[in-house]
Structure 1
Amino acid sequence: MNTSVIYALAAAALFGASTPLAKLLGTEVPPVMLAGLLYLGSGLGLLVVRCIRDRGWTASGLSASEWPWLIGAIVFGGILGPVALMFGLTLTSGATASLMLNLEPVLTALLAWVVFKENADRRIVLGMLAIIAGGVVLSWPSSSVATQELTWLGPLAVAFACFCWAIDNNLTRKVSASDALFIAGAKGLFAGLVNCAIAFTLGARIVSFDVLAPTLLIGFLGYGVSLVLFVLALRGLGAARTGAYFSTAPFLGAAIAILVLGESVSLLFWVAAAFMVFGVWLHLTERHEHVHLHQPLEHAHRHTHDAHHQHEHAEDVPEEVSHSHKHQHPQISHNHPHFPDIHHRHRH
């Protein structure tokens, strides 16, 4: 299995697990404050890990041309998206909001294909639709009584939140070759501060330490580590495929709730599982291969000396050792199976 696929599924598993794990806390934390603390745990935790890794604070490594993409991703994904969702949840039912959140992978893929010209064949499209169908089935309201919506503004706000996160995913793809810890940490920190500020504005109080500590830890794992893995997956798979794999998170979260919390299994769960397994199988068995041209490129990321990295070093570095530095790619034309990763973002 491709390493980037493992990153994407692991990101979905950690994010999906955050909901049932947060439920284990058994506390009455307001939703906006809970979201803020989870994001804050993500941002603070990742920045601490980065300082430990680098033995102190180091520069981001982002080039001047990459900063606008990251700032845009933070604005749309860390500020506008959460605010729009919280506003929408006050004006719509939870069931409707859960169903509408399935718009995010759809909009992510559409933006990737239409705006950013990312390649996708019919197999990938069908796989994505199957995974999304599984998410719709899983989040379908179990009650036979329809919920009356308060206003059309609620669903519209949730849809706008999905659109913001779709933009976030595609903008993050543009900087995914850079330090994943910095990217994920910055996004988590800004989203946490914004959501906590909104919560305090709405009258929330500071939570006790015995609630704060496990909440921050769950945020670090379910939002922080998950986002790092998501960025690594974007690096190797592109936005549309990563978004499709990540949309298995509700199913993985439900599976964890069944195993950890002992919740009952419904027929809808198994129907959703069948859809998602079929969709993931379609993606895993994809084979995209053709003669393609690599334009000259200079960037920095962790790599080994493979077919795309044949350059000299000032000091001897074994080909099998993974290392990171700024390097140049000459123009080359060849033929091999590939994904729309950071080296294969060409037109078709």
Structure 2
Amino acid sequence: MNSRFGAILTALAAAALFGATTPIAKALLGATSPFMVAGLFYLGSGLGLGIAIVVRRSRTPVGARSHQRVNRDGWPWLIGAIVAGGVAGPALLMLGLSSTPAATSSLLLNLEGVLTAVIAWVVFRENVDVQVFLGMVSIVAAGVVLSWYPGEADMPLGALLIIGACLCWAIDNNLTRKVATNDAMVIACMKGLFAGPVNLAIALMTGTALPAAGTLAVAMLTGLAGYGVSLVLFVVALRHLGAARTGAYFSAAPLFGVALAFVLWPEWPTVAFWVAAVLMAIGIALHIRERHEHAHTHQWLEHTHRHAHDEHHQHEHDFPYSGDKPHTHTHVHPPITHSHAHFPDAHHRHRH
């Protein structure tokens, strides 16, 4: 399987894990507050990934450990992403949910993918063509169909807070793209360890007590999978696809959530579910069929990420290397001009 389809499947897997948290969160909300659930999800993500990082580090040769951290230049971007997506976003969402009907909230949450794409296209100049744009429209339309309840979609003041939350997450997605070549597990762990305590503090200050041990464990394990592993996969997809396309695939999360809900609480899927599934499939198909190719110039670049030797990675090593396996080290890309099909990945962020 080539890297293109591998990256798409990675983004869809991230969406599936995140979407699966929705019905579980719905069940947990009957026992505790939204801020407590968000805090436990994030904390479970941060602690679980932290343990995995410690285990991985213990098995990694000392000389290779420097690659398992975020580069100094990446910290401003990562801190901005954490503040926007891990602190401001959840806070605005919870405040908005307190005064906004559930149907309206579900519709508004579809804006995250749209705003992610708009920021990627307008601010960071990711390329977009008609096919990609129509695919994005189809995917967002699927989310709207899935969450539409006729007669309930009014626009209270709280809706502005939910739109603000979507904007925060869109900013988070685009800022995370700037550090996506760094260790994905470290990035996801740091987000969880920052956002978890903040959300828990808000919950405790508003009078919510910690849930029973069983509920606490379920919430944290769910967070590890749906917020932690999902975010690791999302960052890897960002590395290869860019923010707009990864955000579009991630917009499939509600469909996976509804599908799991049908499994947990068996009933025949509604017509809206099947319409949304068709629209989602059309959108994904349009994206998969994309072929963006033109002559472009790579500027001099030095960075660190996991890679195999291809037309963009033809360099010497100061350590034994057979050349047949992916590996991680600091390497330099000299200037080169050529033409081939590409995505706005870590090596193709040129203007058009």
TM-score per shorter chain, which class?
over 0.9
CA 1:288–1:17 in 2, change beyond 3 Å: closer, same or farther? Answer: same
The reply to whether residue 276 of structure 1 matches residue 280 of structure 2 is: yes
CA distance in 2 between partners of 1:38 and 1:298 (Å): 36
Does the 8 Å contact 2:141/2:276 carry over to 1? Answer: yes
Pair 1:20-2:28 in alignment: no
Q: How far apart are residue 189 of structure 1 and its match?
A: 1.6
Give 1:6's aligned amino acid.
Answer: L
How far apart are 1:190 and its partner, in Å?
1.2
Count of aligned positions:
344
* 8 Å Cα contact 1:88-1:157 kept in structure 2: yes
Deviations 1:151-172 (A, max 9, x none): 42x0110000000000000000
C-alpha distance in 1, partners of 2:110/2:123? 20
Task: Output aligned runs, 1:282-297, within 5 Å.
Answer: 282-297=286-301
Supply the AA of the counterpart residue of 1:10: A
2:126 matched residue in structure 1: 118
Q: What does 1:1-348 align with in structure 2 at a 5 Å threshold? A: 2-23=5-26, 28-55=31-58, 61-141=69-149, 145-146=151-152, 151-152=156-157, 154-348=158-352
CA distance in 1 between counterparts of 2:102 and 2:322 reads 54
C-alpha displacement of 1:25: 5.8
In 2, distance between residues paired with 1:346 and 1:178?
20
Q: Matches of 2:327 and 2:309 in 1, distance apart?
A: 9
CA distance in 2, matches of 1:148, 1:33: 28
Segments of structure 1 that go 5 or more residues without pairing to the other structure are none
User: What amino acid is the match of 2:277?
Assistant: A
CA distance in 2, matches of 1:56, 1:197: 35
Q: Given that residues 45 and 189 in structure 2 are in contact (C-alpha distance below 8 angstroms), is that contact kept between their aligned partners in structure 1?
A: yes
Instruction: Tell me if structure 1 keeps the 8 A contact 2:70–2:182.
Output: yes
TM-score, normalised via structure 1 length? 0.95
TM-superposed deviation, 1:145: 4.8
Q: Which runs of 5+ in 2 are unaligned?
A: none
Q: Secondary structure at the match of 1:116?
A: coil
Let me know the Cα RMSD of the aligned residues. Answer: 1.7
Provide the C-alpha distance between the structure 2 equivalents of 1:148 and 1:279, rounded to a whole number of angstroms. 27
Change (3 A) 1:208 1:344: same
- Between 1:315-324 and 1:264-273, the stretch displaced more is 315-324
Is the partner of 1:206 in helix, strand or coil? coil
* Displacement after TM superposition at 1:41 (Å): 0.7
* Distance 1:146-1:259 versus aligned 2 partners, 3 A rule: closer
Task: Report the CA distance between 1:4 and its aligned residue.
Answer: 1.0
Q: Which moved more, 1:20-29 or 1:250-259?
A: 20-29
For residues 267 and 25 of structure 2, what CA distance do their matches in structure 1 show? Answer: 15
SS of the equivalent of 2:235 reads helix
* DSSP 3-state at the match of 1:328: strand
Contact kept? 2:69, 2:186, Cα under 8 Å: no
**Aligned residues of 1:257 and 1:263 also touching (Cα < 8 A):** no
> Deviation at 1:23?
4.6
Q: Structure 1: how far apart are the matches of 2:18 and 2:153? A: 28
